[in-house]
A and B are shown apart, each in its own frame.
Chain A
Amino acid sequence: MIETSFDIAKTSTGKSLRTEEMVVNMGPQHPSTHGVLRLEVVLDGEIVVDVIPHIGYLHRCFEKHCEHMTNYQQVIPYVDRMDYVAAMTNEMAFVSVVEKLLKIEVPERVHYIRIIMAELQRIASHQIAIGTFGIDMGAFTPFLYYFRDREKILDLFEMTCGARLLYNYMWIGGLSHDLPPQFIGQAKDFCRDFKKTLQEVNDLLNYNEIFIKRTANVGVLPKDLAINYACSGPMLRASGVDFDLRRDDPYTLYDRFEWDVIVGKGEVGVVGDVWNRNMVRQKEMWESLRIIEQALASLPEGDVQKAIPKRIRPVPGDVYGRVEGPRGEIGFYIVAEDSVTPYRVKGRAPAFVNLSVIGEIAKGAMLADLVAIVGSIDIVLGEVDR
């Protein structure tokens, strides 16, 4: 029996009417849990008393496979499939960590192209995040507006490496293909046209009164709890922590460009609530466009495959490296022994760590808010389960 403010039903003798909590399963197949996630929800009427997430439905033994590869390059397609919605940043993480392990310096052109691809991927991933979040709220239209523009990004990727979703593009020490000649023009057109859609969706969704009522002051994640739970990415920044790996733990040439880190300010609602997370993602897309335009304007010449090593046989040791992905901090901890096969690869997925917060922030919310909170954490089960 739960004593809540709703528990005002009393019999004539003054004893409260006995109510029981209902245990409901959201998932594993459910339209709004963004994949195969099972949430065991203990409900008292409409109020959530406890949420216990059960994961592992998409576990594909990625780490065990890595220990049986014939070389390090073969791990890259597996890494793609961890976060299948934003594959370029996964590749960037793995490739940067291996280059740190081998102490390889890649040419500048490779750095620039990697930055362009990562930022395009960040925009594509946020489009899905905000679009599906809108659908969970009942606004079906922004999803389709964003998908129309996502097609243009996928066309750019297809033009470069042949694949739309899982690329195997960033190789250790370089890239698999150089940019085709029409890439720069088409990318500049995209940057110009996407700003209109961003403004449109901003007016349609973010400042809509009903949307604000659904998302403001819901699922508040306080600052110190966010740091203690090692949340990262938009979740951390929306809680007021001014921390972005691209600026504060630099891993490539982001310091050559001028861009801002978006931190949740509590413009509407409270710092750390669902509305601010959504707004941080929305505004990050503007910043990504800035970076892409600057990078395209100053792209240096060079050979993208010059630094690719013929055989990778690192000095034994271990290293941890991380990268700012659209969902947060993608990290790889690689233990290398004297062999061409990695000894241990651990993928630190941002969604895995961010999802563990849900037990804390969803207590006391209503069932409809639970959907909003899960949507705002922005999980992709591929990387949660690996």
Chain B
Amino acid sequence: METIQSLLENSVVLTLLNAAVPLLFILPYALVTIYVEMKMAAHIQNRLAYMESGWHGTLQPFADMLKLLQKEDIIPAAADKLFFILAPYLVFVGMYASFAVLPFSSAYIGSNIDLGIFYLVSVSSLVVVGLLMSGWASNNKWSLFGAMRSVAQIVSYEIPGVFAILGVVMVFGTMNMQTMTQLQDGGIHHWLILGGNFPLWQKLALFPFMIVLFVIYLLSSMAEVNRTPFDLPEAESELVQGYNTEYSGMKFAIFYLAEYANLFLVSAVIVVMFFGGWSSPFGSFMSGPVWGAFWFVLKGMSFVFFNVWLRWTLPRLRVDQLMYVSWKVLTPFALVCVIAIGLIMVYDP
């Protein structure tokens, strides 16, 4: 008893426990999302998906997880062993470290730092390093192709994405994610997508730029996560599985998990920046620490849902068209918006 108590007061142990809390969210979320994606794909395509295990296939994700865990971990003979093994963990770490600054509710945030969103953008660049490592170390020309394309895509789409974030940070005046959410608390009319908690003239002036910034960040976040229509790096029809080709078993499970968790991460960032994070749309009704977590997860999941819907509807863009959209369409729009927002925020009547 005493040892447990002293353990719990030990700051290192506390930090570790704190760090494991998002994992408690990610693992069930991944199972649910795998199920939802397959079922949504099936219903869009006019067929039923899993129906055998459990009621309407609800136990199927568990079966998939067990299958992946017990698969043989094959490393190609000519692969670069160190990097081959390291790559999935780098991708996972780059994605997971960003969960530290997500405000799940008013009572819980992993680490309430003032650099919030800046830290998130920089740490998620580790994902790029991991992808490039996996493509190179697989000793497979197709994986290398996929990795190159993926790196080019992610790096190009970070530019408009970061400009969008810059615009939002200029409006709020802070990079702290918890403060951003608190500034949008109090009802749907305070959400940044509808102009934010500002006087009416400022709301009306900010509203169109917020819509544009939202769209820009939505598109660049889809490209960061390699989702259709930007999924050329893992285009099944051309590159077999892109940078994933040579992976099997636990390492593939880590890549898979990292992809879905990354999807939630970028959806959560959109929600925190534009849609009020954990604040309830009704103001004080249905708000509180626990309700906050509910609203956060609900809003995040609706963007995940939107992404899944798009994946099964649209064809994919070719890599040079992808680059064109990023550099020649999104970046100029983002620049214009940032300048305009700066002017609006500085103007003091």
Q: Is any CB of A less than 8 Å from a CB of B in the complex?
A: yes
Give the residues in chain B near A119, CB-CB below 8 Å. none
**A214's contact among B46, B228, B231, B317, by CB below 8 Å, is which?**
B317
> B34-56, CB under 8 A of A: which get 1 and which 0?
00000001001111000000000
Give the residues in chain B near A368, CB-CB below 8 Å. 232, 235, 238, 318-319
Q: How many Å lie between the Cα of A137 and that of B316 in the bound state? A: 6
Chain-B contact segment, one of A65-73, A139-147, A169-177: A139-147
**Contact of B3 with A by CB under 8 A:** no
Q: How many Å lie between the Cα of A32 and that of B141 in the bound state? A: 17
**Contact of A40 with B by CB under 8 A:** no
Give the residues in chain B near A185, CB-CB below 8 Å. none
Give the residues in chain B near A138, CB-CB below 8 Å. 228-229, 231, 235, 237, 314-316
Give the residues in chain A near B348, CB-CB below 8 Å. none
Give the residues in chain B near A213, CB-CB below 8 Å. 317-318, 321
Q: Contacts A30-B240, A32-B238; is A46 near B315 (CB within 8 Å)?
A: no
A residues 36-56 near B (Cβ < 8 Å) are 46
Contact B314 A46 (CB under 8 A): no
Q: Contacts A32-B237, A368-B232, A371-B238; is A210 near B316 (CB within 8 Å)?
A: yes
Q: Contacts A31-B236, A367-B238; is A46 near B312 (CB within 8 Å)?
A: no
With CB as the reference atom, state the residue of chain A lying closest to B240.
A31
- Among A46, A138, A140, A208, the most chain B Cβ lie within 10 Å of the Cβ of A138
Contact B319 A134 (CB under 8 A): no
With CB as the reference atom, state the residue of chain A lying closest to B236.
A31
Contact A24 B317 (CB under 8 A): no
With CB as the reference atom, state the residue of chain A lying closest to B324.
A213
Count, chain A residues at interface, CB 8 A = 29
Give the residues in chain B near A32, CB-CB below 8 Å. 236-238
Q: How many Å lie between the Cα of A369 and that of B47 in the bound state? A: 30
Q: How far is the CB of A140 from chain B (nearest CB, A)?
A: 6
**Contact of B9 with A by CB under 8 A:** no
Q: How many Å lie between the Cα of A205 and that of B314 in the bound state? A: 8
Q: How many Å lie between the Cα of A138 and that of B228 in the bound state? A: 8
Give the residues in chain B near A136, CB-CB below 8 Å. 237-238
Give the residues in chain B near A31, CB-CB below 8 Å. 236-237, 240
Give the residues in chain B near A367, CB-CB below 8 Å. 145, 238
A residues 223-244 near B (Cβ < 8 Å) are none
**Contact of A22 with B by CB under 8 A:** yes
Give the residues in chain B near A144, CB-CB below 8 Å. 45-47
Q: How many Å lie between the Cα of A107 and that of B175 in the bound state? A: 83
Contact B237 A46 (CB under 8 A): no
**Contact of B72 with A by CB under 8 A:** no
**B315's contact among A30, A137, A369, by CB below 8 Å, is which?**
A137
Q: Contacts A32-B237, A144-B47, A368-B319; is A208 near B312 (CB within 8 Å)?
A: no
Q: How far is the CB of B107 from chain A (nearest CB, A)?
A: 42
**Contact of B182 with A by CB under 8 A:** no
> B114-145, CB under 8 A of A: which get 1 and which 0?
00000000000000000000000000011001
Q: 18 other contacts beyond A136-B237, A148-B46, A368-B238, with CB at 8 A cut-off?
A: A24-B142, A31-B236, A31-B240, A46-B320, A135-B237, A136-B238, A139-B314, A140-B312, A141-B312, A141-B313, A144-B46, A145-B46, A148-B47, A210-B314, A210-B315, A210-B316, A366-B318, A366-B320
Could you name 19 residue pairs across A and B whose Cβ atoms are closer than 8 Å? A24-B141, A24-B142, A30-B240, A136-B237, A136-B238, A138-B228, A138-B314, A139-B314, A139-B315, A141-B312, A144-B46, A144-B47, A214-B315, A214-B316, A366-B319, A367-B145, A368-B235, A371-B237, A371-B238
Report B's interface with A, CB cutoff 8 A: 41, 44-47, 141-142, 145, 228-229, 231-232, 235-238, 240, 312-321
Q: Closest 3 CB pairs between A and B? A: A138-B316, A32-B237, A144-B45
